[in-house]
Structure 1
Amino acid sequence: MRHILQHITNTFSLDHTIIESPFNIDTHIHDCYEIFYFISGDLTYYIEGQAYKLSPHDIIITNTRELHRIVFDSSACYERKYIQFKPEFISSFQTDDYNMLHYMENRKLGKFNKISAADVREAGIDQLWSKIEENALVKSPENQILMKTYFIQLLVSINKIFSKYNSPVVERPKYDEKIVHLLEYINNNLDKRISLDLLQDKFFVNKFYLSHSFKKTTGFAVMEYITYKRIMWAIDLIMDGTTALDASHTVGFGDYSTFYKAFKNTTGMSPRQYCKQ
Protein backbone atom coordinates (compact mmCIF):
# COMPACT_ATOMS: atom_id res chain seq x y z
CA MET A 1 0.00 0.00 0.00
CA ARG A 2 1.42 3.37 -1.03
CA HIS A 3 -0.18 6.63 0.14
CA ILE A 4 0.12 9.38 -2.45
CA LEU A 5 -1.71 11.90 -0.28
CA GLN A 6 -3.43 11.94 3.11
CA HIS A 7 -5.18 14.87 4.77
CA ILE A 8 -7.23 14.05 7.87
CA THR A 9 -9.23 16.28 10.22
CA ASN A 10 -12.24 15.64 12.46
CA THR A 11 -14.72 16.66 9.76
CA PHE A 12 -12.87 16.20 6.45
CA SER A 13 -10.54 13.49 5.17
CA LEU A 14 -8.79 13.20 1.82
CA ASP A 15 -6.89 10.10 0.70
CA HIS A 16 -5.13 8.93 -2.48
CA THR A 17 -3.71 5.40 -2.33
CA ILE A 18 -2.24 2.73 -4.61
CA ILE A 19 -2.46 -0.92 -3.53
CA GLU A 20 -0.39 -3.43 -5.48
CA SER A 21 -2.15 -6.51 -4.07
CA PRO A 22 -5.74 -5.48 -3.24
CA PHE A 23 -7.89 -7.33 -0.70
CA ASN A 24 -11.66 -7.40 -0.39
CA ILE A 25 -13.20 -4.69 1.81
CA ASP A 26 -15.73 -6.18 4.23
CA THR A 27 -19.25 -4.87 4.69
CA HIS A 28 -19.21 -1.55 6.54
CA ILE A 29 -20.82 1.85 6.94
CA HIS A 30 -19.39 5.29 7.71
CA ASP A 31 -20.52 7.94 10.17
CA CYS A 32 -19.86 10.47 7.40
CA TYR A 33 -20.47 10.96 3.68
CA GLU A 34 -18.02 9.45 1.22
CA ILE A 35 -17.10 10.39 -2.35
CA PHE A 36 -15.04 7.55 -3.82
CA TYR A 37 -13.01 8.23 -6.99
CA PHE A 38 -11.96 5.06 -8.83
CA ILE A 39 -8.76 5.28 -10.89
CA SER A 40 -7.68 1.73 -11.74
CA GLY A 41 -8.16 -1.90 -10.78
CA ASP A 42 -10.76 -4.63 -11.24
CA LEU A 43 -13.57 -4.49 -8.71
CA THR A 44 -17.28 -4.53 -8.04
CA TYR A 45 -18.68 -2.04 -5.53
CA TYR A 46 -21.72 -3.41 -3.69
CA ILE A 47 -24.17 -0.99 -2.06
CA GLU A 48 -27.38 -2.24 -0.46
CA GLY A 49 -29.31 -3.88 -3.33
CA GLN A 50 -27.05 -2.83 -6.18
CA ALA A 51 -23.74 -4.00 -7.66
CA TYR A 52 -21.65 -1.42 -9.52
CA LYS A 53 -18.90 -2.58 -11.87
CA LEU A 54 -16.54 0.40 -12.04
CA SER A 55 -14.54 1.90 -14.89
CA PRO A 56 -11.64 4.35 -14.46
CA HIS A 57 -12.77 7.81 -13.27
CA ASP A 58 -16.20 6.65 -12.11
CA ILE A 59 -17.30 8.09 -8.77
CA ILE A 60 -19.32 6.35 -6.06
CA ILE A 61 -21.36 8.33 -3.50
CA THR A 62 -22.46 6.80 -0.18
CA ASN A 63 -24.25 8.31 2.79
CA THR A 64 -24.31 7.36 6.47
CA ARG A 65 -27.09 4.78 6.04
CA GLU A 66 -25.75 2.73 3.14
CA LEU A 67 -24.00 -0.57 3.79
CA HIS A 68 -21.29 -1.22 1.23
CA ARG A 69 -18.39 -3.48 0.42
CA ILE A 70 -15.77 -3.89 -2.31
CA VAL A 71 -14.99 -7.21 -4.00
CA PHE A 72 -11.92 -7.44 -6.25
CA ASP A 73 -12.48 -9.51 -9.38
CA SER A 74 -8.75 -9.93 -10.03
CA SER A 75 -5.40 -9.06 -8.43
CA ALA A 76 -4.82 -6.07 -10.75
CA CYS A 77 -3.14 -3.06 -9.12
CA TYR A 78 -5.76 -0.86 -7.42
CA GLU A 79 -5.71 2.93 -7.22
CA ARG A 80 -8.39 5.13 -5.73
CA LYS A 81 -9.09 8.44 -4.06
CA TYR A 82 -11.76 9.31 -1.56
CA ILE A 83 -13.14 12.23 0.37
CA GLN A 84 -15.00 11.61 3.62
CA PHE A 85 -16.73 14.53 5.31
CA LYS A 86 -19.30 15.39 7.95
CA PRO A 87 -22.13 17.90 7.41
CA GLU A 88 -20.57 20.40 9.82
CA PHE A 89 -17.63 20.83 7.44
CA ILE A 90 -19.91 22.68 5.00
CA SER A 91 -22.57 23.96 7.41
CA SER A 92 -21.58 27.62 6.97
CA PHE A 93 -22.30 27.33 3.23
CA GLN A 94 -25.74 25.71 3.56
CA THR A 95 -28.78 27.92 2.99
CA ASP A 96 -32.53 27.53 3.35
CA ASP A 97 -32.84 27.62 -0.43
CA TYR A 98 -30.01 25.26 -1.34
CA ASN A 99 -29.04 22.02 0.40
CA MET A 100 -25.73 20.70 -0.96
CA LEU A 101 -26.46 17.28 0.53
CA HIS A 102 -29.93 16.95 -0.97
CA TYR A 103 -29.17 14.09 -3.34
CA MET A 104 -26.77 12.38 -0.96
CA GLU A 105 -29.36 12.35 1.80
CA ASN A 106 -32.56 11.69 -0.14
CA ARG A 107 -31.66 8.98 -2.63
CA LYS A 108 -33.20 5.57 -2.05
CA LEU A 109 -30.62 3.32 -0.42
CA GLY A 110 -28.37 1.69 -2.98
CA LYS A 111 -29.73 3.64 -5.95
CA PHE A 112 -28.01 6.26 -8.12
CA ASN A 113 -24.71 5.88 -6.27
CA LYS A 114 -22.52 5.99 -9.38
CA ILE A 115 -21.46 9.02 -11.41
CA SER A 116 -20.00 7.93 -14.73
CA ALA A 117 -16.51 8.93 -15.86
CA ALA A 118 -18.03 10.87 -18.77
CA ASP A 119 -20.08 13.02 -16.37
CA VAL A 120 -17.09 13.42 -14.05
CA ARG A 121 -15.03 14.90 -16.88
CA GLU A 122 -17.83 16.94 -18.40
CA ALA A 123 -18.58 18.60 -15.04
CA GLY A 124 -14.88 19.23 -14.36
CA ILE A 125 -14.98 17.20 -11.14
CA ASP A 126 -11.58 15.68 -11.91
CA GLN A 127 -10.06 19.17 -12.15
CA LEU A 128 -11.78 20.38 -8.98
CA TRP A 129 -10.49 17.28 -7.17
CA SER A 130 -6.94 18.10 -8.31
CA LYS A 131 -7.35 21.63 -6.91
CA ILE A 132 -8.57 20.22 -3.59
CA GLU A 133 -5.51 17.95 -3.39
CA GLU A 134 -3.16 20.75 -4.41
CA ASN A 135 -4.37 23.03 -1.62
CA ALA A 136 -4.55 20.23 0.96
CA LEU A 137 -0.80 19.80 0.62
CA VAL A 138 -0.21 23.37 1.81
CA LYS A 139 -1.03 23.92 5.49
CA SER A 140 -1.43 27.70 5.36
CA PRO A 141 -4.81 29.12 6.44
CA GLU A 142 -5.51 30.61 3.01
CA ASN A 143 -4.93 27.27 1.26
CA GLN A 144 -7.28 25.51 3.68
CA ILE A 145 -9.96 28.05 2.77
CA LEU A 146 -9.27 27.53 -0.93
CA MET A 147 -9.51 23.78 -0.46
CA LYS A 148 -12.95 24.14 1.09
CA THR A 149 -14.19 26.48 -1.67
CA TYR A 150 -13.12 23.99 -4.35
CA PHE A 151 -14.89 21.25 -2.40
CA ILE A 152 -18.07 23.33 -2.29
CA GLN A 153 -17.86 23.70 -6.07
CA LEU A 154 -17.43 19.94 -6.36
CA LEU A 155 -20.61 19.32 -4.31
CA VAL A 156 -22.57 21.77 -6.44
CA SER A 157 -21.35 19.97 -9.58
CA ILE A 158 -22.42 16.62 -8.12
CA ASN A 159 -25.88 18.03 -7.36
CA LYS A 160 -26.24 19.19 -10.96
CA ILE A 161 -25.33 15.71 -12.21
CA PHE A 162 -27.81 14.00 -9.87
CA SER A 163 -30.48 16.45 -10.97
CA LYS A 164 -29.91 15.26 -14.53
CA TYR A 165 -29.96 11.60 -13.49
CA ASN A 166 -33.41 12.05 -12.01
CA SER A 167 -34.77 13.35 -15.31
CA PRO A 168 -37.14 10.98 -17.16
CA VAL A 169 -34.96 11.22 -20.25
CA VAL A 170 -32.05 9.54 -18.45
CA GLU A 171 -32.01 5.75 -18.54
CA ARG A 172 -32.37 4.43 -15.02
CA PRO A 173 -30.45 1.39 -13.78
CA LYS A 174 -32.30 -1.92 -13.62
CA TYR A 175 -32.76 -3.82 -10.37
CA ASP A 176 -33.82 -7.33 -9.43
CA GLU A 177 -37.37 -6.57 -8.29
CA LYS A 178 -37.58 -9.67 -6.07
CA ILE A 179 -34.49 -8.61 -4.15
CA VAL A 180 -35.71 -5.01 -3.95
CA HIS A 181 -38.98 -6.22 -2.35
CA LEU A 182 -37.01 -8.47 -0.02
CA LEU A 183 -34.78 -5.57 1.04
CA GLU A 184 -37.81 -3.39 1.66
CA TYR A 185 -39.39 -6.08 3.83
CA ILE A 186 -36.19 -6.56 5.85
CA ASN A 187 -35.68 -2.83 6.41
CA ASN A 188 -39.30 -2.41 7.53
CA ASN A 189 -39.22 -5.37 9.93
CA LEU A 190 -35.81 -5.25 11.58
CA ASP A 191 -37.42 -5.24 15.03
CA LYS A 192 -39.15 -8.56 14.33
CA ARG A 193 -37.85 -12.10 14.12
CA ILE A 194 -36.50 -12.74 10.59
CA SER A 195 -35.17 -16.08 9.41
CA LEU A 196 -34.51 -17.72 6.06
CA ASP A 197 -37.47 -20.04 6.66
CA LEU A 198 -39.77 -17.06 7.26
CA LEU A 199 -38.51 -15.29 4.11
CA GLN A 200 -38.93 -18.50 2.13
CA ASP A 201 -42.59 -18.77 3.16
CA LYS A 202 -43.34 -15.09 2.67
CA PHE A 203 -41.76 -14.71 -0.77
CA PHE A 204 -42.60 -18.21 -2.05
CA VAL A 205 -39.03 -18.99 -3.01
CA ASN A 206 -36.66 -21.73 -1.90
CA LYS A 207 -34.42 -20.39 0.87
CA PHE A 208 -31.26 -21.75 -0.73
CA TYR A 209 -32.09 -20.09 -4.05
CA LEU A 210 -33.04 -16.93 -2.13
CA SER A 211 -29.69 -16.91 -0.32
CA HIS A 212 -27.76 -17.40 -3.55
CA SER A 213 -29.73 -14.73 -5.42
CA PHE A 214 -29.45 -12.23 -2.54
CA LYS A 215 -25.69 -12.73 -2.29
CA LYS A 216 -25.23 -12.45 -6.05
CA THR A 217 -27.31 -9.27 -6.28
CA THR A 218 -26.22 -7.40 -3.15
CA GLY A 219 -22.85 -8.88 -2.25
CA PHE A 220 -24.15 -9.69 1.25
CA ALA A 221 -25.37 -12.86 2.93
CA VAL A 222 -28.99 -12.40 4.06
CA MET A 223 -28.36 -12.73 7.80
CA GLU A 224 -25.15 -10.67 7.55
CA TYR A 225 -27.15 -7.85 5.97
CA ILE A 226 -29.85 -8.05 8.66
CA THR A 227 -27.26 -7.96 11.45
CA TYR A 228 -25.50 -4.90 10.03
CA LYS A 229 -28.75 -3.03 9.53
CA ARG A 230 -29.79 -3.77 13.11
CA ILE A 231 -26.46 -2.58 14.48
CA MET A 232 -26.71 0.59 12.40
CA TRP A 233 -30.16 1.27 13.88
CA ALA A 234 -28.89 0.48 17.39
CA ILE A 235 -26.08 3.01 16.98
CA ASP A 236 -28.65 5.73 16.20
CA LEU A 237 -30.69 4.79 19.28
CA ILE A 238 -27.68 4.68 21.61
CA MET A 239 -26.39 8.03 20.37
CA ASP A 240 -29.85 9.48 21.10
CA GLY A 241 -29.62 8.32 24.72
CA THR A 242 -31.18 4.83 24.67
CA THR A 243 -29.32 2.29 26.79
CA ALA A 244 -27.48 -0.45 24.92
CA LEU A 245 -29.71 -3.07 26.56
CA ASP A 246 -32.94 -1.34 25.46
CA ALA A 247 -31.50 -0.71 21.99
CA SER A 248 -30.63 -4.40 21.59
CA HIS A 249 -34.26 -5.39 22.23
CA THR A 250 -35.68 -2.60 20.07
CA VAL A 251 -33.68 -3.62 16.99
CA GLY A 252 -34.60 -7.29 17.22
CA PHE A 253 -31.85 -9.08 19.13
CA GLY A 254 -33.14 -11.85 21.37
CA ASP A 255 -30.46 -11.45 24.03
CA TYR A 256 -27.85 -8.86 24.97
CA SER A 257 -24.81 -11.14 24.64
CA THR A 258 -25.62 -11.78 20.97
CA PHE A 259 -26.11 -8.06 20.41
CA TYR A 260 -22.85 -7.19 22.20
CA LYS A 261 -20.86 -9.64 20.09
CA ALA A 262 -22.46 -8.41 16.84
CA PHE A 263 -21.88 -4.77 17.82
CA LYS A 264 -18.21 -5.37 18.56
CA ASN A 265 -17.70 -7.38 15.36
CA THR A 266 -19.31 -4.58 13.34
CA THR A 267 -17.74 -1.50 14.91
CA GLY A 268 -14.60 -2.91 16.51
CA MET A 269 -15.74 -1.48 19.86
CA SER A 270 -18.19 -2.17 22.64
CA PRO A 271 -21.29 0.08 22.82
CA ARG A 272 -19.73 2.00 25.73
CA GLN A 273 -16.45 2.51 23.88
CA TYR A 274 -18.34 3.66 20.81
CA CYS A 275 -20.24 6.30 22.79
CA LYS A 276 -17.06 7.56 24.44
CA GLN A 277 -15.34 7.95 21.09
Structure 2
Amino acid sequence: MDKQILHYSSNHFSFVHMVTEPPTDVATHIHDCYEMFYFISGDLTYYIEGQAYKLRPYDLIITNSKELHRIVFLSKASYERKYIHFKPEYVSPYQTEQYNLLAYIEKRKLGCFNMIPAKNVLDNGIGELWENIEKASLDPAPESQILMKIFFIQMLIKINQHLSKYNNPVVDSHKDDQKIAAILDFINNHLEEKITLDSLQERFFVNKYYLCHLFKRNTGFTVIEYITYKRIMRAMELLVAGKPALNVAHSVGFGDYSTFFKAFKKITGYSPKRVINN
Protein backbone atom coordinates (compact mmCIF):
# COMPACT_ATOMS: atom_id res chain seq x y z
CA MET A 1 0.00 0.00 0.00
CA ASP A 2 1.27 3.47 -0.94
CA LYS A 3 1.39 6.18 1.71
CA GLN A 4 1.94 9.60 0.19
CA ILE A 5 3.74 11.81 2.68
CA LEU A 6 4.11 14.78 0.39
CA HIS A 7 3.10 15.73 -3.13
CA TYR A 8 3.90 19.14 -4.59
CA SER A 9 3.35 20.11 -8.22
CA SER A 10 3.83 23.29 -10.19
CA ASN A 11 4.50 24.12 -13.83
CA HIS A 12 7.24 21.77 -15.16
CA PHE A 13 8.21 20.61 -11.64
CA SER A 14 6.88 18.08 -9.11
CA PHE A 15 8.14 16.70 -5.81
CA VAL A 16 6.91 13.48 -4.16
CA HIS A 17 7.76 11.73 -0.87
CA MET A 18 6.19 8.28 -0.59
CA VAL A 19 6.36 5.04 1.41
CA THR A 20 5.14 1.68 0.06
CA GLU A 21 4.58 -1.35 2.26
CA PRO A 22 4.90 -4.06 1.14
CA PRO A 23 6.34 -3.15 -2.26
CA THR A 24 5.74 -4.93 -5.56
CA ASP A 25 7.90 -4.66 -8.66
CA VAL A 26 7.40 -1.36 -10.46
CA ALA A 27 6.08 -1.83 -13.99
CA THR A 28 8.28 -0.52 -16.74
CA HIS A 29 7.38 3.08 -17.43
CA ILE A 30 8.65 6.05 -19.37
CA HIS A 31 8.80 9.74 -18.54
CA ASP A 32 8.70 12.76 -20.80
CA CYS A 33 10.81 14.57 -18.22
CA TYR A 34 13.93 14.19 -16.10
CA GLU A 35 13.81 12.33 -12.80
CA MET A 36 15.84 12.58 -9.61
CA PHE A 37 15.18 9.60 -7.36
CA TYR A 38 16.36 9.91 -3.73
CA PHE A 39 16.36 6.49 -2.08
CA ILE A 40 15.56 6.41 1.65
CA SER A 41 14.98 2.74 2.50
CA GLY A 42 14.10 -0.64 1.01
CA ASP A 43 15.71 -3.64 -0.65
CA LEU A 44 15.89 -3.28 -4.42
CA THR A 45 17.90 -3.17 -7.60
CA TYR A 46 17.44 -0.22 -9.95
CA TYR A 47 18.04 -1.17 -13.59
CA ILE A 48 18.91 1.55 -16.11
CA GLU A 49 19.91 0.82 -19.70
CA GLY A 50 21.98 -2.28 -19.00
CA GLN A 51 23.32 -1.23 -15.60
CA ALA A 52 22.22 -2.68 -12.27
CA TYR A 53 22.38 -0.44 -9.20
CA LYS A 54 21.89 -2.09 -5.79
CA LEU A 55 20.79 0.95 -3.84
CA ARG A 56 21.71 1.96 -0.30
CA PRO A 57 19.98 4.63 1.80
CA TYR A 58 20.50 8.18 0.48
CA ASP A 59 21.85 7.12 -2.91
CA LEU A 60 20.63 9.44 -5.65
CA ILE A 61 19.60 8.20 -9.12
CA ILE A 62 19.33 10.58 -12.08
CA THR A 63 17.62 9.63 -15.36
CA ASN A 64 16.72 11.58 -18.45
CA SER A 65 13.76 11.10 -20.76
CA LYS A 66 15.66 8.69 -23.05
CA GLU A 67 16.72 6.20 -20.37
CA LEU A 68 14.55 3.15 -19.81
CA HIS A 69 14.53 2.03 -16.19
CA ARG A 70 12.90 -0.51 -13.90
CA ILE A 71 12.91 -1.32 -10.18
CA VAL A 72 12.98 -4.92 -8.92
CA PHE A 73 12.43 -5.54 -5.21
CA LEU A 74 14.53 -8.18 -3.47
CA SER A 75 12.35 -8.48 -0.36
CA LYS A 76 9.17 -7.09 1.20
CA ALA A 77 11.08 -4.47 3.22
CA SER A 78 9.34 -1.10 3.50
CA TYR A 79 10.19 1.07 0.49
CA GLU A 80 10.61 4.82 1.01
CA ARG A 81 11.75 7.30 -1.59
CA LYS A 82 11.56 10.90 -2.69
CA TYR A 83 11.64 11.97 -6.28
CA ILE A 84 11.57 15.07 -8.42
CA HIS A 85 10.23 15.22 -11.98
CA PHE A 86 11.10 18.29 -14.00
CA LYS A 87 11.32 19.52 -17.55
CA PRO A 88 14.12 21.66 -19.00
CA GLU A 89 11.72 24.60 -19.17
CA TYR A 90 11.81 24.80 -15.37
CA VAL A 91 15.45 25.89 -15.37
CA SER A 92 15.85 27.33 -18.89
CA PRO A 93 15.86 31.00 -17.69
CA TYR A 94 19.05 30.19 -15.76
CA GLN A 95 20.94 28.61 -18.65
CA THR A 96 23.81 30.59 -20.13
CA GLU A 97 26.11 30.12 -23.10
CA GLN A 98 28.95 29.44 -20.68
CA TYR A 99 27.15 27.07 -18.31
CA ASN A 100 24.63 24.31 -19.02
CA LEU A 101 22.80 23.24 -15.88
CA LEU A 102 21.64 20.02 -17.56
CA ALA A 103 24.91 19.03 -19.24
CA TYR A 104 25.50 15.89 -17.20
CA ILE A 105 21.88 14.82 -17.40
CA GLU A 106 21.44 15.32 -21.13
CA LYS A 107 24.78 14.34 -22.63
CA ARG A 108 25.71 11.19 -20.73
CA LYS A 109 25.90 7.92 -22.58
CA LEU A 110 22.69 6.03 -21.79
CA GLY A 111 23.02 4.15 -18.50
CA CYS A 112 26.20 5.92 -17.36
CA PHE A 113 26.73 8.27 -14.41
CA ASN A 114 23.19 7.64 -13.17
CA MET A 115 24.02 7.15 -9.50
CA ILE A 116 25.59 9.45 -6.93
CA PRO A 117 26.46 7.37 -3.84
CA ALA A 118 25.06 8.39 -0.45
CA LYS A 119 28.43 9.60 0.90
CA ASN A 120 28.81 12.03 -1.97
CA VAL A 121 25.18 13.11 -1.74
CA LEU A 122 25.67 14.03 1.91
CA ASP A 123 29.24 15.36 1.71
CA ASN A 124 28.41 17.67 -1.20
CA GLY A 125 25.35 19.14 0.50
CA ILE A 126 22.92 17.62 -2.01
CA GLY A 127 20.93 15.94 0.76
CA GLU A 128 20.62 19.22 2.65
CA LEU A 129 19.39 21.01 -0.46
CA TRP A 130 16.82 18.25 -0.97
CA GLU A 131 15.54 18.83 2.57
CA ASN A 132 15.36 22.57 1.88
CA ILE A 133 13.25 21.92 -1.23
CA GLU A 134 10.91 19.73 0.80
CA LYS A 135 10.54 22.36 3.55
CA ALA A 136 9.89 25.11 1.00
CA SER A 137 7.20 23.00 -0.68
CA LEU A 138 5.32 22.89 2.66
CA ASP A 139 5.70 26.61 3.35
CA PRO A 140 2.64 28.70 2.37
CA ALA A 141 4.72 31.89 2.26
CA PRO A 142 4.55 33.68 -1.13
CA GLU A 143 8.32 33.44 -1.59
CA SER A 144 8.45 29.65 -1.11
CA GLN A 145 8.24 28.79 -4.82
CA ILE A 146 11.15 31.09 -5.54
CA LEU A 147 13.17 29.48 -2.75
CA MET A 148 12.37 26.00 -4.09
CA LYS A 149 13.74 26.92 -7.49
CA ILE A 150 16.85 28.51 -5.96
CA PHE A 151 17.57 25.36 -3.94
CA PHE A 152 16.96 23.19 -7.00
CA ILE A 153 19.33 25.25 -9.16
CA GLN A 154 21.94 24.93 -6.41
CA MET A 155 21.37 21.15 -6.40
CA LEU A 156 21.93 20.91 -10.14
CA ILE A 157 25.18 22.85 -9.80
CA LYS A 158 26.33 20.54 -6.99
CA ILE A 159 25.51 17.49 -9.12
CA ASN A 160 27.44 18.91 -12.07
CA GLN A 161 30.43 19.67 -9.84
CA HIS A 162 30.42 16.14 -8.48
CA LEU A 163 30.05 14.36 -11.82
CA SER A 164 32.72 16.50 -13.46
CA LYS A 165 35.33 14.82 -11.22
CA TYR A 166 34.73 11.30 -12.51
CA ASN A 167 35.52 9.50 -15.74
CA ASN A 168 33.64 6.29 -14.94
CA PRO A 169 30.16 5.58 -13.58
CA VAL A 170 29.68 3.89 -10.21
CA VAL A 171 27.88 0.68 -11.21
CA ASP A 172 27.92 -3.02 -10.57
CA SER A 173 30.17 -4.71 -13.10
CA HIS A 174 29.31 -7.83 -15.09
CA LYS A 175 31.68 -9.79 -17.27
CA ASP A 176 29.22 -9.51 -20.14
CA ASP A 177 28.87 -5.71 -19.91
CA GLN A 178 30.64 -5.07 -23.21
CA LYS A 179 28.47 -7.52 -25.11
CA ILE A 180 25.25 -6.11 -23.65
CA ALA A 181 26.44 -2.52 -24.20
CA ALA A 182 27.10 -3.31 -27.86
CA ILE A 183 23.64 -4.86 -28.25
CA LEU A 184 21.98 -1.87 -26.56
CA ASP A 185 23.87 0.55 -28.81
CA PHE A 186 22.83 -1.41 -31.87
CA ILE A 187 19.16 -1.47 -30.86
CA ASN A 188 19.09 2.25 -30.07
CA ASN A 189 20.72 3.12 -33.40
CA HIS A 190 18.57 0.81 -35.55
CA LEU A 191 15.07 1.17 -34.15
CA GLU A 192 13.69 1.75 -37.63
CA GLU A 193 14.91 -1.66 -38.80
CA LYS A 194 13.48 -5.12 -38.21
CA ILE A 195 15.26 -6.47 -35.11
CA THR A 196 14.73 -10.11 -34.11
CA LEU A 197 16.44 -12.52 -31.75
CA ASP A 198 17.73 -14.41 -34.78
CA SER A 199 19.27 -11.28 -36.29
CA LEU A 200 20.90 -10.34 -32.97
CA GLN A 201 22.21 -13.88 -32.61
CA GLU A 202 23.82 -13.69 -36.04
CA ARG A 203 25.28 -10.23 -35.57
CA PHE A 204 26.71 -10.71 -32.07
CA PHE A 205 27.69 -14.38 -32.29
CA VAL A 206 25.77 -15.42 -29.21
CA ASN A 207 23.06 -18.07 -28.90
CA LYS A 208 19.70 -16.30 -28.82
CA TYR A 209 18.53 -18.17 -25.73
CA TYR A 210 21.68 -17.29 -23.83
CA LEU A 211 21.38 -13.74 -25.16
CA CYS A 212 17.88 -13.50 -23.67
CA HIS A 213 19.23 -14.69 -20.32
CA LEU A 214 22.14 -12.22 -20.38
CA PHE A 215 19.93 -9.34 -21.46
CA LYS A 216 17.35 -9.92 -18.75
CA ARG A 217 20.00 -10.33 -16.06
CA ASN A 218 21.83 -7.15 -17.02
CA THR A 219 18.95 -4.85 -17.94
CA GLY A 220 15.90 -6.15 -16.08
CA PHE A 221 14.03 -6.27 -19.40
CA THR A 222 13.38 -8.88 -22.04
CA VAL A 223 14.89 -8.08 -25.44
CA ILE A 224 11.52 -7.58 -27.13
CA GLU A 225 10.20 -5.50 -24.24
CA TYR A 226 13.23 -3.21 -24.40
CA ILE A 227 12.94 -2.76 -28.18
CA THR A 228 9.23 -1.95 -27.95
CA TYR A 229 9.65 0.61 -25.18
CA LYS A 230 12.56 2.31 -26.92
CA ARG A 231 10.54 2.54 -30.13
CA ILE A 232 7.66 4.17 -28.26
CA MET A 233 10.05 6.60 -26.53
CA ARG A 234 11.48 7.58 -29.91
CA ALA A 235 7.97 7.84 -31.34
CA MET A 236 7.01 10.30 -28.60
CA GLU A 237 9.93 12.54 -29.55
CA LEU A 238 8.89 12.54 -33.21
CA LEU A 239 5.22 13.16 -32.39
CA VAL A 240 6.12 16.10 -30.16
CA ALA A 241 8.20 17.45 -33.06
CA GLY A 242 5.03 17.43 -35.18
CA LYS A 243 5.60 14.35 -37.33
CA PRO A 244 2.41 12.58 -38.58
CA ALA A 245 1.55 9.49 -36.53
CA LEU A 246 1.47 7.16 -39.55
CA ASN A 247 4.94 8.25 -40.65
CA VAL A 248 6.22 7.93 -37.09
CA ALA A 249 4.96 4.33 -36.83
CA HIS A 250 7.06 3.26 -39.82
CA SER A 251 10.10 5.36 -38.90
CA VAL A 252 10.45 3.62 -35.52
CA GLY A 253 10.17 0.10 -36.92
CA PHE A 254 6.50 -0.86 -36.67
CA GLY A 255 5.22 -2.76 -39.70
CA ASP A 256 1.72 -1.34 -39.53
CA TYR A 257 -0.12 1.49 -37.76
CA SER A 258 -2.49 -0.80 -35.86
CA THR A 259 0.37 -2.57 -34.05
CA PHE A 260 2.00 0.79 -33.31
CA PHE A 261 -1.23 2.25 -31.97
CA LYS A 262 -1.85 -0.69 -29.64
CA ALA A 263 1.73 -0.65 -28.29
CA PHE A 264 1.68 3.13 -27.84
CA LYS A 265 -1.66 3.09 -26.02
CA LYS A 266 -0.58 0.19 -23.78
CA ILE A 267 2.68 1.84 -22.73
CA THR A 268 1.62 5.49 -22.46
CA GLY A 269 -2.05 5.12 -21.62
CA TYR A 270 -3.15 7.43 -24.42
CA SER A 271 -3.24 7.60 -28.20
CA PRO A 272 -0.53 9.03 -30.50
CA LYS A 273 -2.94 11.77 -31.63
CA ARG A 274 -3.15 13.09 -28.09
CA VAL A 275 0.59 13.85 -28.19
CA ILE A 276 0.17 15.72 -31.49
CA ASN A 277 -2.84 17.68 -30.23
CA ASN A 278 -1.02 18.73 -27.07
Normalised TM-score (structure 1): 0.96
The answer for the alignment partner of 2:118 in structure 1 is: 117
Contact 2:15 2:84 (8 Å CA) reproduced: yes
% identity of equivalent residues: 58
Counting matched residue pairs gives 275
1:104-143 correspondence runs (5 A): 104-143=105-144
The answer for the alignment partner of 1:49 in structure 2 is: 50
Amino acid at match of 2:211: L
Amino acid at match of 1:186: I
Structure 1 residue 166: deviation in Å? 2.6
C-alpha distance in structure 2 between counterparts of 1:142 and 1:46, whole Å: 38
The answer for the alignment partner of 1:87 in structure 2 is: 88
The answer for the alignment partner of 1:237 in structure 2 is: 238
The answer for the alignment partner of 1:29 in structure 2 is: 30
Structure 1 residue 140: deviation in Å? 2.7
Amino acid at match of 1:220: F
- Deviation digits for residues 138-157 of structure 1, max 9, x if unmatched? 13321111111111111111
Are residues 1:183 and 2:184 paired? yes
C-alpha distance in structure 2 between counterparts of 1:95 and 1:259, whole Å: 39
Amino acid at match of 1:30: H
C-alpha distance in structure 2 between counterparts of 1:133 and 1:172, whole Å: 28
C-alpha distance in structure 2 between counterparts of 1:14 and 1:78, whole Å: 17
Are residues 1:252 and 2:273 paired? no
The answer for the alignment partner of 2:193 in structure 1 is: 192
1:153-172 correspondence runs (5 A): 153-166=154-167
C-alpha distance in structure 2 between counterparts of 1:210 and 1:4, whole Å: 42
Contact 2:113 2:170 (8 Å CA) reproduced: no
Amino acid at match of 2:11: N
Amino acid at match of 2:135: E
Q: Output the aligned Cα RMSD.
A: 1.4
The answer for the alignment partner of 2:78 in structure 1 is: 77
What runs of 5+ residues in structure 2 fail to find an aligned partner?
Answer: none
C-alpha distance in structure 2 between counterparts of 1:25 and 1:100, whole Å: 30
- Deviation digits for residues 123-143 of structure 1, max 9, x if unmatched? 011111111111111133211
C-alpha distance in structure 1 between counterparts of 2:70 and 2:276, whole Å: 25
What runs of 5+ residues in structure 1 fail to find an aligned partner?
Answer: none
C-alpha distance in structure 1 between counterparts of 2:109 and 2:172, whole Å: 13
The answer for the alignment partner of 2:100 in structure 1 is: 99
Amino acid at match of 2:138: L
The answer for the alignment partner of 1:273 in structure 2 is: 274
Structure 1 residue 171: deviation in Å? 7.2
Structure 1 residue 172: deviation in Å? 7.4
C-alpha distance in structure 1 between counterparts of 2:11 and 2:264, whole Å: 23
C-alpha distance in structure 2 between counterparts of 1:56 and 1:260, whole Å: 40
Amino acid at match of 2:259: T
Normalised TM-score (structure 2): 0.95
